[in-house]
Structure 1
Amino acid sequence: MALIITDECINCDVCEPECPNGAISQGEEIYVIDPNSCTECVGHYDVPQCVEVCPVNCIVTDPDRIENREQLLAKYHALITGAERAPQE
């Protein structure tokens, strides 16, 4: 499951730095989560860190992106592998 940020977001800026995958960024009006990078912190933490710090509870499961723990872990490994294969400067 990827997470989404609802329109109840108050742009408090606390979620973005908590995401270990860099999946959260400022959108046109509110913060947004890239579903291709969101692993719900699987591989990093036991619970999604953005959900833990959100003061208005506006980060919820995306009903269009239902993934189980194994799928999230596979996505995490793919993200890590892709990062390791980045060209060296």
Structure 2
Amino acid sequence: MLIAIFDENFNPDEVSVSITNSEFIDETLDVLRADMIFKVFEKGNSNFNKNKMNYHIEFQTKNDNTMVIRTFEYGFRKGKENSN
């Protein structure tokens, strides 16, 4: 699915995929929830943080003009989480 959606060329024998944290606490202590964030990383690689990628999928069921802002916010929060 990730290969088709994101036009990637992963070899299933060389990578692992897992669902990762998609909940973030904002400045007002509200919880922000992305729909799905996947972590893809090379199997057997000792430098885990360098060789992983996160992919975010958001499902839109109604016309919502704030979706682009929320999607940016989720990516920004995930980047901050991964920088630690």
TM-score strictly above 0.5: no
TM-score band w.r.t. shorter chain:
under 0.3
Q: TM-score, normalised by structure 2?
A: 0.28
Q: TM-score, normalised by structure 1?
A: 0.27
